[in-house]
Structure 1
Amino acid sequence: MDTNAVLDIAAVALGLAAKLAAPALITALVVGFTVSLLQSVTQIQEVTLSFVPKAIAVALALVIAGNWMISELVVTTHELFARIPQLLES
C-alpha cells in the first residue's frame, strides 16, 4: 500500500464523517441560533430553554436522516472493500 492510497482512504473517511455529521450539526446550529435570538428578544435567560429544543431537534434530524446516513456508510464500506485487492497488489 503506497502513500497515495492511504491519503485517498483518509480523504474519503474525512469526507464521509463531515457528510454524516452535517444534518445533526446544522440542525443544532439553526435551532440554537433561533432560540438564542428568541431569548435575547424576550430577555429570558433560562439554560434549559436552549438545551431542550436543540436536543429534540437533533434527535428528530437523526431520525429523518438516519436511513440516508446508514446507506452512505454502507456504500462507502462496500467501495473500500472493493479496493482491497488493488491495495494488496501494490
Structure 2
Amino acid sequence: MSEADALDIVQFAIWTVLVTSGPVVLVAMIVGVGIALVQALTQVQEITLTFVPKIVAVLLSASVAAPFVGSQIGRLTDVVFSRMQSGF
C-alpha cells in the first residue's frame, strides 16, 4: 500500500465520520436553538429544560439514522479491505 492509498483511506474515513455524524448533530443543533429561543422568550433558565429534550431528540434521530450510518461504515470497511487486499 502506497502513501497515496493511505491518504485516500484517511480522507474517506474523515468524510465518512462527517457524513454519518451529520444527521444527529443537525437535530441536536435545531433542538438546541429552538429550546434556547423558548428560554429567551419565557425567561425560564432551567438546565433540565435544555438537556432532556435534546437527549431524547438525539436518541430518536440516531435510531432513525442507524441504517444509513451502518451502510456508510460498511462502505468504508469495504474500501479499506479492498485497498489492503490489492496492496499485498
RMSD over aligned Cα atoms? 1.0
Normalised by the size of structure 2, how large is the TM-score?
0.93
Q: Aligned residues: percent identity?
A: 33
What CA distance in whole angstroms lies between the structure 2 residues aligned with 1:79 and 1:63?
Answer: 25
Q: C-alpha displacement at 1:70, in angstroms?
A: 0.6
Moved over 2 A (4+): 85-88
What CA distance in whole angstroms lies between the structure 2 residues aligned with 1:31 and 1:12?
Answer: 29
Q: Which amino acid aligns with 1:45?
A: Q
What CA distance in whole angstroms lies between the structure 1 residues aligned with 2:57 and 2:85?
Answer: 43
What CA distance in whole angstroms lies between the structure 2 residues aligned with 1:79 and 1:7?
Answer: 13
Match of 1:56 in 2: 56
Matched position secondary structure for 2:44: coil
Normalised by the size of structure 1, how large is the TM-score?
0.91
Q: How many residues in Structure 1 have an aligned counterpart in Structure 2?
A: 88
Unpaired runs of 5+ residues, structure 1, are: none
